[in-house]
Structure 1
């Protein structure tokens, strides 16, 4: 679990900023402007600290929660589709 204890901003703001930076090709200054448009006043250095502090932990949690899909599931779907196509 990621601890946001002592953070000045709400957890949702931090997660949104870090996700947005990691997911889309934006600079810290551009993200500062995007967050200002959404009513959150912060500095680009703050976003930089958040990315350095939380990006790895968020990726680890996301990887852990990702449900594994087995190859057998994919093969069974392919077999069903093949049967439908040739019937």
Structure 2
């Protein structure tokens, strides 16, 4: 079986040469991170999501927490949570 020879210039592929800087958040050193115990199935799911999205596992976890706060907490619960997290910082 022979390889197919294609003319790359005929494809007119445009590549954006920009840097994605939307992932920059408050920097935390590796030694400051805490381990989180989850079931193996949950870990595998988070690991797969991180691989698919090309992100670190802790970035996926941060997004999950933010989505939970946004979608599952009532406004009053969110207010309590925000005041608790401000007092611990």
* TM-score clears 0.5: no
Q: TM-score, normalised by structure 2?
A: 0.28
Which structure has more relative contact order (CA 8 Å, sep 6+)? It is 1
Higher helix proportion (structure 1 or 2) = 1
> Normalization by structure 1: what TM-score?
0.29
